[in-house]
Structure 1
């Protein structure tokens, strides 16, 4: 017998990282009541840390999709693996030269010099791609989240420095 409705339990599970970070900040606020200056400084540091973690957790939460898509995504030691019902593949994060959001925001396309790998945004385990994409140099995760919130037919999110167009010098 469950004491909490399943949909409420699922919502708490999704928001657990944000709630835990805010609880940490709440503990920091509580420590500010101390008369000891060192404890107050420590409390202020705990508040800042908790709020920073809450912001990161909120961004991860925005990255997750509510819908289900076929396939399983794994990210292990810089290798992104996608096991789908009809397609799949492996891509080393260091080999990726382009990152696209395609099909009106329903799939990621990772391009390497040798191949392309399409991964549904809502595939099981796709939330692990947040940390993987954050390692791409020059990629702003706020741009990725904006692209997910406002889908377009195809959107280039990131290009490796070797793929970026160079500016023409004025003569």
Structure 2
């Protein structure tokens, strides 16, 4: 028996890092209001709480829910997708382009690696939130730009990142 409504549970899971960051922030404020060495520890914890909140907001904006087709797995820089009709894997370091393609429902991430077929991963695939860290590790990727494009998906492919592409600067 659950005491939390399903909608509330979904919201809590989506925003969990922000909630943890708020708890850490409040703890830091409490300690910082004290004296002595605890005050300086409180300021450090306060900064950590702010960092958790900022990171948590980005992660929450990236999450598209669960229950989509297939499962994503990211292990040691290798993105694998196990879908009902297709699948595959690509190495994050070997990616040449990352595209958000809104022509299908749901939209898909298209990952391009030279010499391999492109890998299409639905934005709401199970465990798709693991892609956030994989994408964030791409050199020069603008996280806020990616999140803005994800919030307003167009019915066309949109280039999010390309290796050594000066046009994205």
Same fold (TM over 0.5): yes
Offset from partner CA, 1:100-130 (integer Å, 9 cap, x none)? 0012571001111112111111100110000
How is 1:27-106 mapped onto 2 (pairs within 5 angstroms)? Answer: 27-36=27-36, 38-66=37-65, 68-104=67-103, 106=107
1:5 aligns with 2:5: yes
Residue ranges of structure 1 left out of the alignment (5+ in a row): 167-171
Offset from partner CA, 1:20-64 (integer Å, 9 cap, x none)? 11100000111122132x221211111111011111011001100
Aligned to 1:21: 21
Q: Distance in 1 between matches of 2:22 and 2:55?
A: 12
1:119 aligns with 2:85: no
Kept after mapping to 1: 8 A contact 2:66/2:126 = no
Residues 18/87 of structure 1: CA separation in 2 closer, same or farther (3 Å cut): same
Aligned to 1:158: 161
Residue ranges of structure 2 left out of the alignment (5+ in a row): none
Corresponding pairs, count: 163
- TM-score, length basis structure 2: 0.89
